[in-house]
Structure 1
Amino acid sequence: MKYHLLLFLSLLTFGANAQLDVELTSHTDKEKLKQLQLERVTQQYDLAKWTFTDKVLIDESATRPYSHPTLTITVSRPSDDGSFLSQYLHEQIHWFEDSRQIEVNKVVATLKQKYPNAPITGPEGADGVFSTYLHLAVCLLEYDALTELLGKQKANEVVSTNSKYFYKWIYRTVLADPEFIRNVLKQSDLYINE
């Protein structure tokens, strides 16, 4: 009964824009801080356009965020909302793309032709050929979402910072060639619109 009451209260604390089912793995102080950040950000920004799953797990033991089977975020940087938005939107966008495999395959094939020598391992690329090209699409959509929410200057800052640590080539390519990637997504019906 106590768990159900906590879950109900957790659902109520989020803004009208995002009714999320949030679970903390261990209920540590760091996880609770991250939950407060999630609440703050969902109240400050309308994230409905980029919300494709309502289940979110906050896990202090997670070494990186991931999208499936449950969108899982780490506890890092609980006061950096730009970084948090980048992480959160990125994982939500994976849910969007996961439901559109035909479109994803078309985009990946086109991006392979444009960038035939893309790195296929981290930290420059992702985990394999398909994942690297998929992440060009995910990271472009993430960049466009950040631009819409935070403005171009802050979005550039967040993505530039990401490019120093992970998906380095992918984020640099998104910043260098956003129009091409965006057009590929739009032509393949894989762009997030209103």
Structure 2
Amino acid sequence: MKAAYLLVALLAFTSSVVSAYDPSPLQDFCVAAKERDGVFVNGKFCKDPGVVKAEDFFLHVEPGNTDNPLSAEVTAVAVDQLAGLNTLGISLARIDFAPKGLNAPHTHPRASEILIVLEGTLYVGFVTSNQNQNRLFTKVLNKGDVFVFPIGLIHFQLNVGYGNAVAIAGLSSQNPGTITIGKALFKANPPISVEVLARALQLDNKLIEDLQNNSWYGLH
């Protein structure tokens, strides 16, 4: 009998823990507001099901324009581009690379990413957290190859072939977000203190100021 009571108590405890668990965030932040100030669900209002059309689940994606400082372009297909993705927990992106094109080191704070190469040859990699000694995992991918980038980790892709390259990335969030490392550090608005960056990166103040004056291009 004591065992039965113990089992019931354990089930009650675990169910209360599960029900109290916060859902994964779908936007950068959500400042608490009084009810009269507005209510959002996953950052979006839901359309009346009676007026939903097939077009709400459809989007045509053109090749990206790679005429930019990184010679690459990411064309996102997230909830802001395709309304039918709302609440489904998935999105994707088409990544076009000119020769030597780079998708610079960045993170997706809300999604893991699975990448498949459609054309060309890419050098890809990701860096683990401090807890795992910041290990670098890299691979050269060719047409048809697949690689996974775990959620939140810094990763990149570089076209190392002789021609253009194209890849498709699937992401485990309707709004994965992108933080381009260089742009976030040196083009924060307002700027991060020169002293903070100089001490953190072990560089002199003048170099930090020069870096902050650069144009940092970040792909979406």
Greater RCO, 1 or 2 (C-alpha within 8 Å, sep 6+): 2
Kindly name which structure, 1 or 2, has the bigger radius of gyration based on alpha carbons: 2
Q: Which has the higher strand share?
A: 2
**TM-score, shorter chain, exceeding 0.5:** no
Q: Normalising to structure 2: TM-score of the pair? A: 0.22
Q: Normalising to structure 1: TM-score of the pair? A: 0.24
Q: Which has the higher helix share?
A: 1
